[in-house]
Structure 1
Amino acid sequence: MPNVEKVSVSMTPQHAELMRDAVNSGAYASGSEVVREAMRDWSAKWMQKREDIAKLRAMWAEGKASGPATEVDFDAALEEAREELASAPPHAR
């Protein structure tokens, strides 16, 4: 397998047993295969989490740049939102 780096991974006995079970069941050819799949899944989650954090930071910066905070009557804002939702076409809800 090209471009492979060997690393040592420690895991709980329960995780090791699950990995051995997955290999013994024939679902995976080796423990390395199990770990590679786990890393692919984790990588996708990690990238999504990083994107989400970046979006939140951008929204936070946008909010701070929009000017000073103003008081809002929450009940009035909620009622206004309900009215807008009620008057929206059915396909837009």
Structure 2
Amino acid sequence: MNITLTPELEQFVQTQIDSGKYASATEVLLAGVALLKEIDRVYKGRFEELRQKVLDGVDAADRGDVIDSETVFENLQAKLEQKRYQGQ
């Protein structure tokens, strides 16, 4: 596989090598790919968590287990005030 980098990315790779963090351009690119892979894994996990929470919310709404918006905002305001109080 041949990879062509922009001049800016080439300079970045060279800077990483010059700093001593990496011994070669291949090491820099492998580190970048590993990081991208980890970000993708975390993103997928977080997406699944959010998806499940949405499904749980839909199920709760279908059961009629909901809270009116005024109560929700009052509870959020109380939590915010509690956090502010704890921070002092």
Normalising by structure 1, we get a TM-score of: 0.65
**Residue deviations 1:30-81 (CA, integer Å, cap 9, x gap):** 100001111111111111100000111111111112216757142x434345
Partner of 1:42: 36
Structure 2 residue 24 is matched with structure 1 residue 30: yes
Counterpart for residue 72 of structure 1: 68
Q: List, as ranges, runs of 4+ consecutive aligned residues in structure 1 with deviation greater than 6 Å.
A: none
Measured at CA, do residues 73 and 60 of structure 1 come closer, stay the same or move farther in structure 2, by a change above 3 Å?
Answer: closer
Once residues 79 and 65 of structure 1 are traced to their aligned partners in structure 2, the CA distance between those partners, rounded to angstroms, is 24
Aligned residues: 79
Q: 5 Å matches for 1:53-64?
A: 53-64=47-58
Q: Structure 1 residues 52 and 32 mapped into 2: Cα distance closer, same or farther (>3 Å)?
A: same
RMSD: 2.7
Task: Extract unaligned runs of 5+ from structure 2.
Answer: none
Task: State which of 1, 5, 9 in structure 2 corresponds to 1:11.
Answer: 5
The alignment's TM-score, normalised by the length of structure 2, stands at: 0.68
Identity of aligned residues (%): 16
CA 65–73 in structure 1, closer or farther in 2 if over 3 Å, else same: closer
